[in-house]
Amino acid sequence: MLVAKTVRAPLAGAAFLLAAFVALGGCTSKSDQGGGGGDASGGDSSGGDAGEGNLGGASGARFVLGSITIDAEGNRVSYAQIIDQFEGPFTNRKGIEANGNAVFLTSGSDFFYGLAEAPEWVRYSTTDGFEETGRISFAQFGMKYMDFNNVIVDAETAVSVLTEPYLAVVWNPKTMTIVGTIDLLQMSRDDYSLEAWTPVARDGLVYVPGRWANWETLNVEQVVSVTVLDPKKLEVVGVAEDTRCGSAGRMIFDSNGYGYVMGDGRNQSMQTFAAFRDEPVVPNCLLRMPPGKIEFEQDFFFEIPELTGGLDSMTELEAPSVNSNYAFTMMKYEDRIPEGLDRLDFAHWDVPAYKMWRITLGDEPQVEVVKGSNFSVIGFSSSATAGKLYSPQSDDGSTSVVYEVDPETNTSVQKFTMEGYFAGLYALE
C-alpha cells in the first residue's frame, strides 16, 4: 500500500495491495488491494516449461498457478495457467491473461477469474485447457472491478465482500447467478476506509475481518474485528471485536474448533503511524474465539514479542487449511532494517528483514522459526494447497521462487521458480 502521492507498490498480498491503491487513488490498472483482458490463448495451458518431477498432491492432481507482472510504470497483468507438476521454471507464455491485478478462485474443475477492468467473474472449465462457460457482473452494485475479498463456501455458494458499497454478495458458482446480498453498513466507520481481507469459510459460515485505515491522516484503527455471515440465511450472525491490539486478518481454526486471529496492525502500519506521531506503540497480539461463540476470549491474549523473545509479527495468519493446528506469520527482524528509511513510504517492506515462523495453536501457543526459511521482503501472500503452504519470494518481481512449507515438520524447501509475482496456487478436481 502506498501513502499519499507515492506510486511505488510494496507487496503484502494481492488483496492488501489493491486496497491501499484504491484508498489513495494510486495508479494501477484497477484504480489496487490484493488479488489482476488480453490475448487469452485458451489452448494448451499446461505448466509452461515444467519438467517431469514432483507431483503436487496425488497422481493426476491439477492446479491453477496465478502470476502477476508489474512493469516500470506500475501497470499490472495477471496470468493463470494449469499445471500438474510442482517443478518449473514456469513462464507466463501459456497462461490466459487479464489486465490489472485480478483475483482467483476455483471450485471443482472450474476456475474463476475476477477481473480488474470490469466488475465480473469469468468462469472457465479446465477439463480441456481453459474454456469460458459463464460470466456474472457486479456492475449493479456500483463496482468498476472485482473486489478482493472472496471465498467459495460450497459448490453452489460463494461470497464476495464489496467494501465500497458495504455489501456481501452471495452468488452461485454453478449457475453464475446472484442469490442475494447481506447489508454490511455496520462495518462503515466515519473517516476510515474499510478493508476486509482475508475472509474464510467454515461449516457454512463466512468469517470476514474488518480493517479500517485513513491513508491521508495516517491512522489505522486499533481494533480487531470479525463479522460472521450466514450466506444461506443472507444475514449477519454476529460481530466479535477487541481493542487490545489492532487490525487482524484471516481467522484460522484448530482441530477443536477454536478460531485464531493475528492482530498485525495492518502489516504494522498502525505501529509505524503511531511512532511517527510519538504515540505509544502497541505490539501485535494473538486472539482466540471459542467454538460456537462470536466473541474473543478475555483470558486468551498473547503479545507476539513475549512469545518470540522480542520479535513482532508483520503479517496476518496463514495456514495449510482453514482447520489446522498450525498457523504461520512473518516476523520482523528490526536489526536488519537500516536506519533512516522512510517507513511512511513503506521502504522497509522492500528490505529482506522478515522470516516465516510457525505457531502451534492451543491454550499455550508455541512459536518457532521455520527451518530452512530465508529472510525476505514483504510480498504476495502464501497459498494453502494439498495440506502444504506455498510461500513466494522475489527480489524484483521479474521472477519468484516458491517454497513448500510442511506444517508437520516445520520445514521450508524450494519447490519451483516462475515468471512474475506468485499470486496463488489453486487446486482443481
* Residue carrying C-alpha cell 491453477: 64
Assign 3-state DSSP to the chain and report helix, strand, coil percentages, each to 5: 10, 45, 45
pLDDT tens-place string over residues 63-110 = 999 999 999 999 999 999 999 999 889 999 999 999 999 999 999 999
Cis link prior to 199 (omega < 30° from 0)?
no
Q: What is the mean pLDDT of the chain?
A: 87
* Residue carrying C-alpha cell 481454526: 253
CA distance 111 to 141: 23
From the list 196, 218, 200, 221, the residue with the least C-alpha distance to 209 is 196
Query: Which string of DSSP letters, residue by residue, matches 103-147?
Result: EEEEETTEEEEE-SSSSEEEEEE-BTB-EEEEEEE-GGGT-SS--
pLDDT tens-place string over residues 207-235 = 999 999 999 999 999 999 999 999 999 99
CA distance 329 to 267: 11
Sheet holding 312-313, edge to edge: 312-313, 326-332, 354-360, 366-369
HEC profile of 38-94: CCCCCCCCCCCCCCCCCECCCCCCEEEEEEEEECCCCCEEEEEEEECECCCCECCCC
CA distance 113 to 45: 15
pLDDT at 300 over 70: yes
Domains of the chain: 14-428 (2.130.10.10)
Pairing of strands 62-70, 421-428: antiparallel
pLDDT at 54 over 50: no
pLDDT tens-place string over residues 343-386 = 999 999 999 999 999 999 999 999 999 999 999 999 889 999 98
CA distance 188 to 211: 10
